[in-house]
Amino acid sequence: MLSRVADSLYWMSRYIERSEHIARLIAVKLESMIEQTSEDAEASWWRVVAGLAAEGRADMPRDAFGITQAVALDRANASSLISCLGRARDNARQVREQLSTEVWEKLNRLYLRLQPVTVQSIWVHHPARLFREVLEDMHALEGVTYSTLSHGEGWHFLELGRHIERAQLLGRLLDVHFSINPDMAPPKYFDWLVLLKFCCAFEPYTKLYTASIRPQKIAEFLLFDAGFPHSVRFSVNRVTDTLACIAPGAPSLRRVPAERLAGRLKALVDFGQIDDLMAGGIGGFLADITRQCEQIHEAVFSSYIAYGAESVL
Amino acid sequence: MQQELLATLENFGGPDIVVPTGAHAARPGEAPYAGYALGAAFDEMFDAQGHVRAHYLPLENRLSTLAPDELHRRQQACELSFLHQGITFTVYNDSKATERIIPTDLLPRIITHGEWSRIEAGLAQRIQALNLFLRDIYGEGRVLKDGVVPRSMVYGSRHYRREMRGVPVPHGAYINVCGSDMVRNEAGAFVVLEDNLRVPSGVSYMLANRDVVRRAFPGVFRSMGVRSIEHYPQELLATLRSLAPYHEDVSIAVLTPGVFNSAYFEHAFLARQMGVELVEGRDLLVNDNIVYTRTTSGLKRIDVIYRRIDDDFVDPLIFREDSSLGVPGLFNAYRAGNVVIANALGTGVADDKAIYAYVPRMIRYYLSEEPLLENVETFLCRENSSLSHVLANLDKFVVKAVGESGGYGMLVGPHASTAEREEFAAKIKSNPENYIAQPTIQLSTAPTFVEGGVEGRHVDLRPFILHSAETKIVPGALTRVALKRGSLVVNSSQGGGSKDTWVLSQ
């Protein structure tokens, strides 16, 4: 597979994952805010903003309307839902011949559909509905990606992008909920419920731990559950698996850097103990995950995408 | 492509029952042809008396039984499907880039078996002569020594590539893919307007149009015996493969300038249909005169490049050094015979507007045959008698600058003001070699769906020719249509659309 094509598929998938994540956060938040006091809602919206944007949140609006506009529909904000979806589509367009018609059209239609949408136009009636519909389209997109693309190298690059992105997004979201922040009231019972819903984890969680909502159990579930697709461990395992499937003809020398880093991260989440983490600062652990994901990303890039000709001739 | 559309065009066609021919045929002035005006131009559907030509009868019968809003609905479904598929081109204005579809008119343009046979034979003859001409001017230059074509015209052309002198090309075929622009004149004869020998585009629209139009009129399509064009990608692949120095494991790539090019859809489409890699310049690298693509698993050798970028951008070491679209070292690899580039470099010298006037002479010179297809009458201002004739009748001519394309540096005499004509006359006098003049031609009109009915609009014809050891012409073409009433400009950037072209098998 062409390196440039692999790169586009990888980024397309990362941007789709990010768009889906934003859509879910906004949908859940819009639906849940009616049950909160305005102060609780504001703190909770702030966590959404902080969970999405690592920096540059000082000038962010603090109300639901303004935040929805900024993180979802603002075309000037490069990390908004609509910008991410546009970039996913740009990448898809560059590798159109590698995608199935179903995948391309699902993505293209979703993009075209959101073009005329403004926050004013959705605010009148049940604004969460739009984001729920976007999520439905995203799930359909995921479905056709799974069922109409050949599960070859290109598909593995899509999986790699999706799960590196997911692990990082989860890490950041957990961090704003579990790290102690002097500026902000700590999450309340209802916020823990919302966190589970942010990760589509409410029902799977209750199946395992019953409906008793305990932060430590939530952290354990979202970090270490091996079977739940929106846990950090699940994503890290997928990253490790896909790394073994990409670039089938590459000599082992070039495979080593990324695979070694992924193996190290896998060990971290496979053998992590929640009790230790809760006792000694979970923040450092989460930051470590994010950093290691970035290192894997860089290793993949320099081994398979942008390697120099002199290194292989 | 057909399967793609099956997946996306829900409820597109609908029942399509063909009324037996011989039923009453409507005439211009009657619904749905209320606004159909027959002018000086040849009309594809109606003869001069307003009778429907025989080969349009089945379509005409179908049209008169369709409710106008039904036609409208099919037209909209067709446009939506193009948008969803991303068959768009990008228009840049201000800072905003907008994606637009090229409007497809649902009413096919129909060409009879006899007409097509003449076009086919004429184009094959023409491409043969043009290839011999290119081989000659990059070789011994007989045609120049014999004074058939002026030396200065060839060596002075900015598309002449000195670097190509003495470089052998497989089968002596310089032009492998050609898309000639033809028009039908007032007398009903097809004439060649322009030979596009560099990187002609539009073939993807030919195929895409066929898909939607066949679905809009399945019954008529079936009953009329329209010849298939589905095999174009296979024929293109076979042509490219035949250029390779060996016959097994030939690695072929389509080279595109990238996603921002207006024809990007076509590049991706052709690569996908042929099952070959679509590459950009940055995917390729040259080492020791061998061309490779950079893949995740390592470097992979490339044998044949179907390039969709202009000569100027192919290799910054040889041609434009500020270009980042091409590949440094590619030309040396080419000259060393390690990679084939199709079309060959330097073909542009033969589709120059002035050289065009010499194509009939080339045909006589190289093939000792009379041209089967005529040129549009062309006056070369470099010849004194022509110059005075052109200057005296500037209001009747279209004058074009030789090296320009896309409608730049052009005077349309009948539509220009006196001041504009005077200004242009001065330009011609100061540099006569740079100008040619052609009489304005009334392009033929074909029935076209417009708001509220069907009217005649001017059309041209672009067939696609493949050439290596043999010449192949897929029986079909892109018909471009000027959607504005009375307009003769068919370019998509200026309100043009396109039509499916049906070539009948008998």
pLDDT at position B270 over 50: yes
Helix (H) or strand (E) holding B69: helix B68-85
Q: Per-residue confidence of chain A (313 residues) as pLDDT tens digits?
A: 999 999 999 999 999 999 999 999 999 999 999 888 888 888 899 899 988 875 555 678 888 999 999 999 999 899 999 999 999 999 999 898 889 989 999 999 999 999 999 999 999 888 999 999 999 999 999 999 999 999 999 999 999 999 999 999 999 999 999 987 777 778 889 999 999 999 999 999 999 999 899 999 999 999 999 999 999 999 999 999 999 999 998 998 899 999 999 999 999 999 998 998 888 778 889 999 999 999 999 999 999 998 877 777 7
What is the distance in angstroms between the Cα of A13 and the nearest Cα belonging to chain B?
17
Residue in chain B lying closest to A300 (CA): B296
- The whole-number pLDDT of residue B407 equals 59
Candidate from B94-103, B446-455, B469-478 with smallest mean pLDDT: B94-103
Residue in chain A lying closest to B9 (CA): A105
Q: Kindly report the backbone phi and psi dihedral angles of residue A110, in degrees, each rounded to the nearest multiple of 5, phi listed first.
A: -60, -45
Minimal CA–CA distance to B192: which of B200, B205, B182?
B182
Q: Do A309 and B285 touch (CB under 8 A)?
A: yes
Which of A2, A96, A312 has the CB atom closest to B86's CB atom? Answer: A96
**Interface probe, candidates B296, B306, B325, chain A, greatest A C-beta count within 10 A:** B296
pLDDT per position as a tens digit, B332-375: 999 999 999 999 999 999 988 889 999 999 999 999 999 999 99
- The whole-number pLDDT of residue B406 equals 55
Residue type, A174: L
> CA A130 to CA A123: how far, in whole Å?
10
Which of B259, B265, B295 has the CB atom closest to A3's CB atom? Answer: B295
In which band, very low, low, confident or very high, does the pLDDT at B31 lie, cut at 50, 70 and 90? confident
> CA B182 to CA B200: how far, in whole Å?
14
What is the distance in angstroms between the Cα of B407 and the nearest Cα belonging to chain A?
30
pLDDT at position B3 over 50: no
What is the distance in angstroms between the Cα of A208 and the nearest Cα belonging to chain B?
41
B32 preceded by a cis bond (ω within 30 of 0): yes
Q: Are B458 and B487 a contacting pair, CB within 8 Å?
A: yes
- The whole-number pLDDT of residue A236 equals 98
Residue in chain B lying closest to A302 (CA): B296
Residue B100 sits at the chain A interface (C-beta within 8 Å): no
- The whole-number pLDDT of residue A96 equals 86
- The whole-number pLDDT of residue B19 equals 43
Q: How many CB atoms lie within 10 A of CB A210?
A: 9
Which residues on adjacent β-strands are paired with residue B456? B447
Residue B115 sits at the chain A interface (C-beta within 8 Å): no
Cβ-Cβ contacts under 8 Å, A108 against chain B? 84-86
Q: Do A251 and B298 touch (CB under 8 A)?
A: yes
Length of chain B: 506
Q: Which residues contact B447 (CB under 8 A, 6 or more apart)?
A: B33, B36, B44, B45, B56, B63, B107, B454, B455, B456
Using CA atoms, how far residue B242 sits from A29, A238, B57, in Å, is 61, 44, 42
Higher pLDDT, A6 or B12: A6
Which of A94, A109, A307 has the CB atom closest to B259's CB atom? Answer: A94
What is the distance in angstroms between the Cα of A7 and the nearest Cα belonging to chain B?
9
Cβ-Cβ contacts under 8 Å, A251 against chain B? 298
What's the order of all strands across the beta sheet hosting B471-482?
A: B104-111, B496-503, B471-482, B462-467, B177-179
Which of B259, B269, B293 has the CB atom closest to A93's CB atom? Answer: B259
Cβ-Cβ contacts under 8 Å, B269 against chain A? 97
Q: Do A250 and B4 touch (CB under 8 A)?
A: no
- The whole-number pLDDT of residue A199 equals 96
Which of A2, A108, A312 has the CB atom closest to B283's CB atom? Answer: A2
pLDDT at position B12 over 70: no
- The whole-number pLDDT of residue B93 equals 61
> CA B484 to CA A64: how far, in whole Å?
49
Q: Do A309 and B287 touch (CB under 8 A)?
A: yes
Residue in chain A lying closest to B286 (CA): A309
Length of chain A: 313
Most confidently modeled range among B94-108, B294-308, B316-330 = B294-308
Q: Do B279 and A2 touch (CB under 8 A)?
A: yes
Residue B258 sits at the chain A interface (C-beta within 8 Å): yes
Q: What is the 3-state secondary structure (H, E, C) of chain A?
A: CEHHHHHHHHHHHHHHHHHHHHHHHHHHHHHHHHHCCHHHHHHHHHHHHHHHCCCCCCCCCCCHHHHHHHHHHCCCCCCCHHHHHHHHHHHHHHCHHHCCHHHHHHHHHHHHHHCCCCHHHHHCCCCHHHHHHHHHHHHHHHHHHHHHCCCCHHHHHHHHHHHHHHHHHHHHHHHHHHCCCCCCCCCCHHHHHHHHHHCCCHHHHHHHHCCCCCHHHHHHHHHHCCCCCCCHHHHHHHHHHHHHHCCCCCCHHHHHHHHHHHHHHHHHHHCCCHHHHHHCCHHHHHHHHHHHHHHHHHHHHHHHHCCCHHHCC
Cβ-Cβ contacts under 8 Å, B279 against chain A? 2, 4
What is the distance in angstroms between the Cα of B240 and the nearest Cα belonging to chain A?
19
> CA B213 to CA B222: how far, in whole Å?
12
Which of A1, A3, A109 has the CB atom closest to B84's CB atom? Answer: A109
Candidate from B5-9, B235-239, B394-398 with smallest mean pLDDT: B5-9
Q: Do A1 and B295 touch (CB under 8 A)?
A: yes
Cβ-Cβ contacts under 8 Å, A101 against chain B? 3-4, 7-8, 85
Rounded to two decimals, what is the model's pTM? Answer: 0.86
> CA B438 to CA A130: how far, in whole Å?
58
Residue B302 sits at the chain A interface (C-beta within 8 Å): no
Q: Do B283 and A108 touch (CB under 8 A)?
A: no
What is the distance in angstroms between the Cα of A310 and the nearest Cα belonging to chain B?
9
- The whole-number pLDDT of residue B20 equals 45
- The whole-number pLDDT of residue B140 equals 95
Q: Do A247 and B282 touch (CB under 8 A)?
A: no
Q: Do B84 and A307 touch (CB under 8 A)?
A: no
What's the order of all strands across the beta sheet hosting B379-380?
A: B379-380, B435-439, B397-401, B410-412
Q: Do B282 and A313 touch (CB under 8 A)?
A: no
Using CA atoms, how far residue B75 sits from A117, B72, B157, B213, B475, in Å, is 26, 5, 44, 10, 25
Q: List, in sequence order, every beta strand (DSSP E) within B62-160.
A: 88-93, 96-101, 104-111
pLDDT at position B286 over 90: yes
Q: Do B297 and A102 touch (CB under 8 A)?
A: no
Hey, what are A177's tokens?
């909920």
Residue B277 sits at the chain A interface (C-beta within 8 Å): yes
Q: Do A250 and B297 touch (CB under 8 A)?
A: yes
Q: Do B84 and A97 touch (CB under 8 A)?
A: no
Which of A3, A97, A102 has the CB atom closest to B296's CB atom? Answer: A3
**Mean of pLDDT values over B231-247:** 93
Q: Do B8 and A109 touch (CB under 8 A)?
A: no
> CA A218 to CA A191: how far, in whole Å?
12
Minimal CA–CA distance to B359: which of B121, B161, B195, B117?
B195
> CA A20 to CA A230: how far, in whole Å?
12
Residue in chain B lying closest to A97 (CA): B272
Which of A90, A109, A313 has the CB atom closest to B299's CB atom? Answer: A313
Q: Are B342 and B306 a contacting pair, CB within 8 Å?
A: yes
Residue in chain A lying closest to B295 (CA): A2
Q: Do A105 and B83 touch (CB under 8 A)?
A: no
> CA B422 to CA B420: how far, in whole Å?
5
Cβ-Cβ contacts under 8 Å, B280 against chain A? 4
Cβ-Cβ contacts under 8 Å, A3 against chain B? 283, 294-296
**Mean of pLDDT values over B271-291:** 93
Cβ-Cβ contacts under 8 Å, A112 against chain B? 83-84
Residue B301 sits at the chain A interface (C-beta within 8 Å): no
pLDDT per position as a tens digit, B51-87: 999 999 999 998 888 877 888 888 888 888 888 887 7
Give first-to-last CA distance, chain A, whole Å: 18
